[in-house]
């Protein structure tokens, strides 16, 4: 599970048979775009918006960067090693650029925003640097490069949500898709670079979100994941048309309900929930709709109240436990996952032990676990010393990872002998004789292919055995 949220993946266009919808309108007919994404789901979702903007200009996407006219790398700054990975990857593009000097190399996303034009000085092969709120400007920026200039647009916006852009689903299984419901973050957790790279929080018009969900459902999709850095603070007040009465503000619980009503056959997931903002209203809405999956990603970061305060998380250990109690009371079968940072500034052994005891209290189903990595410009970098030696951070991380392994296995073992409703997402990684899909609680389930069912169908699977990450079973429909 370690660092799963932030793994590297190559994206490419796999959508087929929709040429009419994608008919080129711009001047770049047939030019090839290659785009690769790093970081969180928001970045993967943004790449789908970028692809849409350029396909509108006449571009086609390619899986092979060596064939591309434009290579984009959508980057992440969350930890030092995330940035290092991007720099290493850029080195690999150098050979291609040497062979094809006309190749346009663009850096998008959070690293672009953080480093701005400095990127052009540091990495000579880069032609374009574009921040997450400036993607509409990409066609214009590419033109500038083709006229022999370098181009930068890292303006952040208070309004941009790309609400009207219909994302091109990259690398899609045709069953599950992301829907971005908000952008930016106003929280200022002291360790975190996101408020600087993504700007102020803003919510997207709920009508465009519901429409996107409906369109996906009509196109055969059966699961959507609503994305935001802090979905529980989603809030949209419709603009009042002249002469009309004002419409009520839509909060996250309302939005969940609206999307759940698109179809009982459409599963709804969402990420990320902030412990300070997740309300009972959201929990009751989840409980009310069978198709809202019983799974909450509720990052704790630390189990100690002093460290949480230094992190500026604005909740303490008791508050977090209270939210977990509420989840378990309202939805006893709900799975919970978390993010944990070890070795934050001044963290003592006793405080680290409180993170371990929090894990024992919640018994998380999954966890994404990280050693603290100081990020330039953050509150923690300005205020506190990064004083925990690397080997101690790593040792604490190992303790957390080992404990999580035990809990994951314990949780998944409880699913053996029970029947699970699973949405078939595709063939298992190991064999095309097996299907894979997730249960309501987000656990991966693998089971033998049954010719009566196809990808995108729901089936009932009896759990027969498990590893710490996968439930193995058979269809009993
Ligand atoms: N908005 C989400 C988190 C987005 S970043 C939330 O509030 O939970 C994903 C995770 O990366 C964070 O939850 C945190 O655990 C981790 N992370 C962020 N900054 C980090 C840093 N400087 N060092 C180590 N881990 C970090
Ligand atoms: Fe970063 Fe905190 Fe915002 Fe999450 S809520 S993105 S951790 S500042
Ligand atoms: Fe990384 Fe930016 Fe997401 S820093 S985690 S890609 S918001």
What whole-number distance in Å separates Cα of residue 152 and Cα of residue 129? 5
**Ligand 2 geometric centre to CA of 41 (Å):** 14
Q: How confident is the model at residue 240 (pLDDT cuts 50, 70, 90)?
A: confident
Q: How far apart are CA 114 and CA 195, in angstroms?
A: 10
> Which ligand approaches the C-alpha of residue 185 most closely?
2
Ligand 2 atom with minimal separation from the 312 CA: 2
Per-residue pLDDT for 6 more than 90?
A: no
295-325 burial code (b ≥16 CB/10 A, e <16):
bbbbbbbbbbbbbbebbbbebbbeebbebbe
| 428 ligand 2 Cβ < 6 A | no
Annotated binding-site members:
40, 76, 110, 185, 189, 192
Q: Which ligand is nearest to the CA of 314?
A: 2
Residue 344 Cα to ligand 2 midpoint, Å, equals 15
Closest atom of ligand 3 relative to the 75 alpha carbon = 6
Specify the residue with its C-alpha closest to ligand 1, atom 12.
339
Mean per-residue pLDDT over the chain, rounded: 92
Q: Looking at the chain, which residues constitute the CATH 2.40.50.140 domain(s)?
A: 419-476
Question: Would you say 226 and 203 are in contact if contact means Cβ atoms under 8 Å apart?
Answer: no
Cβ pair 296, 327 in contact under 8 A: yes
| Whole-angstrom distance, CA of residue 324 vs CA of residue 97 | 51
Convert the pLDDT of each residue in 329-359 to its tens digit: 999 999 999 999 999 999 999 999 999 999 9
Residue pLDDT, tens place only, 265-317: 999 999 999 999 999 999 999 999 999 999 999 999 999 999 999 999 999 99
Is residue 306 classed as helix, strand or coil in its secondary structure? Answer: helix
Which one of 75, 76, 192 would you pick to mutate in the ligand 3 pocket, going by the greatest count of ligand atoms within 8 A of its CB? 76
Q: Which atom of ligand 1 is nearest to the CA of 5?
A: 9
Q: What is the pLDDT of residue 189?
A: 98
Residues above pLDDT 70, as percent of the chain: 94
111 Cα: distance to centroid of ligand 3 (angstroms) = 9
Q: Is the pLDDT of residue 170 over 60?
A: yes
Token pair for residue 230? 């802090």
- Ligand closest to 381 (CA) is 1
**CATH C-level class of 176-413:** alpha beta
Cα separation values, 81 from 7, 86, 372, 377, 410, Å? 11, 9, 11, 17, 31
Indicate the annotated binding residues for [4Fe-4S] cluster: 40, 76, 110, 185, 189, 192
Numbered ranges of CATH 3.80.30.20 in the chain: 176-413
What pLDDT score was predicted for residue 187? 95
At residue 26 the predicted structure's pLDDT band, cuts being 50, 70 and 90, is low
pLDDT of residue 8: 32
Other CB atoms within a 10 A radius of the CB of residue 98 amount to 10
Q: Return d(Cα 406, Cα 357) in angstroms, integer.
A: 14
What is residue 171's predicted lDDT score, i.e. its pLDDT? 84
Q: Where in the chain is CATH 3.40.50.12160?
A: 14-153
CA of 43 to the centre of ligand 3 (A): 7
Q: How far is the CA of 39 from the centre of ligand 3 (A)?
A: 5
pLDDT at 52: 96
Do the bridges between strand 104-108 and strand 70-75 make them parallel or antiparallel, or are there none, so unpaired? parallel
Architecture of the domain delimited by 14-153: 3-Layer(aba) Sandwich (3.40)
Using a 6 Å cutoff on CB, does residue 192 contact ligand 1? Answer: yes
Report how far ligand 2's centroid is from the alpha carbon of 230 (Å): 7
The residues facing 338 across adjacent strands are 367
Given a contact cutoff of 8 angstroms between Cβ atoms, the answer to whether 328 and 363 are in contact is no
Contact 52, 26 (CB under 8 A): no
Residue nearest to atom 1 of ligand 3 (CA): 76
Distances in Å between the Cα of 316 and the Cα atoms of 304, 354, 355, 360, 378 are 7, 12, 12, 17, 21
Cβ atoms of 358 and 308 within 8 Å: the answer is no
CB-based contact 358:320 (threshold 8 Å)? yes
154 contacts: CB under 8 Å, gap ≥ 6: 112, 113, 116, 117, 129, 130, 131, 134
Prior bond of 232 cis (ω within 30°): no
In 144-165, which positions are buried (b, 16+ CB within 10 angstroms) versus exposed (e)? bbeeeeebbbbebbeebbbbeb
Nearest CA to 194 out of 131, 134, 141 is that of 131
How would CATH label the architecture of 419-476? Beta Barrel (2.40)
State the closest ligand 3 atom to the C-alpha of 38, by its place in the atom list counted from 1. 6
Place of tokens 């796999």: 14
Task: Tell me what pLDDT residue 27 has.
Answer: 65
Distance 3 CA to ligand 3 centre (A): 13
Convert the pLDDT of each residue in 75-131 to its tens digit: 999 999 999 999 999 999 998 999 998 999 999 999 999 999 999 999 899 999 999
Are 201 and 186 spatial neighbours (Cβ–Cβ below 8 Å)? Answer: yes
CA 462 to chain centre: 30
pLDDT surpasses 60 at 230 = yes
């Amino acid at each position: 599970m370690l660092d799963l949220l932030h793994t590297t993946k190559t994206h490419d266009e796999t959508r087929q048979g929709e040429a009419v919808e994608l008919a080129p309108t711009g001047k770049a007919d047939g030019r090839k775009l290659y785009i690769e994404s790093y970081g969180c789901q928001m970045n993967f979702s943004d790449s789908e918006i970028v692809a849409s903007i350029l396909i509108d200009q006449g571009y086609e996407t390619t899986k092979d960067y060596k064939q591309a006219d434009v290579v984009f790398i959508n980057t992440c700054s969350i930890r030092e090693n995330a940035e290092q990975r991007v720099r290493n990857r850029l080195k690999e593009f150098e050979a291609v650029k040497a062979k094809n000097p006309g190749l346009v190399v663009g850096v998008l996303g959070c690293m672009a925003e953080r480093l701005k034009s400095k990127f052009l000085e540091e990495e000579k092969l880069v032609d374009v640097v574009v921040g997450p709120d400036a993607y509409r400007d990409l066609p214009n920026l590419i033109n500038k490069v083709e006229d022999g200039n370098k181009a930068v647009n890292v303006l952040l916006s208070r309004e941009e949500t790309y609400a009207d852009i219909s994302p091109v689903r990259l690398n899609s299984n045709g069953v599950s898709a992301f829907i971005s419901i908000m952008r930016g973050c106003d929280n200022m957790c002291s360790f975190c670079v996101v408020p600087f790279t993504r700007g102020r929080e803003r919510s997207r018009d709920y009508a465009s979100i519901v429409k996107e969900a409906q369109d996906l459902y009509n196109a055969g999709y059966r699961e959507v994941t609503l994305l935001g850095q802090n979905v529980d603070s989603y809030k949209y007040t419709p603009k009042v048309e002249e002469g009309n009465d004002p419409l009520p503000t839509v909060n996250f619980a309302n939005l969940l309900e609206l999307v759940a009503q698109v179809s009982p056959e459409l599963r709804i997931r969402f990420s990320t929930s902030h412990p300070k903002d997740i309300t009972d209203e959201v929990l009751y809405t989840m409980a009310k709709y069978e198709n809202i999956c019983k799974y909450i990603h509720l990052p704790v970061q630390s189990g100690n109240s002093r460290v949480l305060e230094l992190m500026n998380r604005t909740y303490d250990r008791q508050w977090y436990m209270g939210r977990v109690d509420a989840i378990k009371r309202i939805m006893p079968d709900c799975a919970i996952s978390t993010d944990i940072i070890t070795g934050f500034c001044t963290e003592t052994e006793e405080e680290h032990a409180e993170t371990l005891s929090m894990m024992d209290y919640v018994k998380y189903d999954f966890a994404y676990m990280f050693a603290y990595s100081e990020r330039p410009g953050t509150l923690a970098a300005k205020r506190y010393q990064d004083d925990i030696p690397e080997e101690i951070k790593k040792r604490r991380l190992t303790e957390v990872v080992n404990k999580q392994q035990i809990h994951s296995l314990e949780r998944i073992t409880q699913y053996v002998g029970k029947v699970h409703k699973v949405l078939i997402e595709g063939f298992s990684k190991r064999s095309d004789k097996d299907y894979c899909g997730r249960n309501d609680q987000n656990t991966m389930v693998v089971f033998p292919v049954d010719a009566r069912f196809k990808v995108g169908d729901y089936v009932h699977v009896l759990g027969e055995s498990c590893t710490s990450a996968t439930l193995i079973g058979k269809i009993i429909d």
